[in-house]
Amino acid sequence: MTAHLPHTLRSDARDNRERILEAARTVFVSAGLDAPMREIARRAEVGPATLYRHFPTKELLVAAAFTEQMLACRSLVDDGLADPDPWHGFCLTIEKLCELLAHDHGFTAALMSTYPHALDFAAIRASSLTGAAELIRRAKDTGQLRPDVTLDDLILMIMANSGIRGSTPTARLAASRRFAALMIRAFRAS
C-alpha cells in the first residue's frame, strides 16, 4: 500500500489523503462498498482528480480505508492462537471479532471481499483466515468445539453479525455481544 505513495507528502496532500480516507470510511459504512467515488470526493471536500491521484482505483481506497481494522482482526486471531487454552482462545476471538465488527459495518464488507490488486490487504485477509482455521482446529482438538464446525461457519457468523442493527452504537454493541455469546454456545460440543 505504501508503495503507491511518495515517501514524503506535502502537508496539504497529506491532509487531503486523510480527509479522503475518513470520508471513505463514513460513506462505506452508510452506503456500502458500492458507493460512488464522487460521493467520497464530495464528502472529503476534494475534487475527483485529487481523489484519483491518491487512490487510482476503488480497490486501493477500500484497502487503505480498512487496513487498520484488518490488522486489528489479524491481531485478534493471533491473540486467540497465543492463548494456552485453545477453547478459551477461540471464544475470546469470537467475542472480540464480533465487537470489532459491530463498530464498523463497512469493514465487514471489506473483510468478506477479495482485492487482487491491493496485495497487502489480500495477504492480511488470507493470513487471518489461515489463522482462524488453525484456531478452529486447535479448539476441536480439545473436544470442546463441535467437530462439524468449519471456517465457513465462522464466515457465516461474521456475515450474520454484520446484519445486527441498533438504535445507537451502544445498543448495536450490546446486541453483537449477545450474538457472540449465542454463537459460542452453538459452537460448543455437547
Architecture of the domain spanning 2-56: Orthogonal Bundle (1.10)
Per-residue confidence (pLDDT) for residue 143, from 0 to 100: 97
Least confident interval from 82-86, 106-110, 126-130: 106-110
Per-residue confidence (pLDDT) for residue 149, from 0 to 100: 97
Do domains 2-56 and 67-187 share one topology? The answer is no
User: Is 3.40.50.2300 the CATH classification of the domain at 67-187?
Assistant: no
CA 178 vs CA 106, 157, 161: distances in Å? 21, 13, 10
Per-residue confidence (pLDDT) for residue 9, from 0 to 100: 62
pLDDT at position 95 over 60: yes
Assess contact for 66 and 107: CB atoms under 8 A: yes
Instruction: Return the higher-pLDDT residue of 110 and 137.
Output: 137
pTM, entire model: 0.75
Domain ranges for the chain: 2-56, 67-187
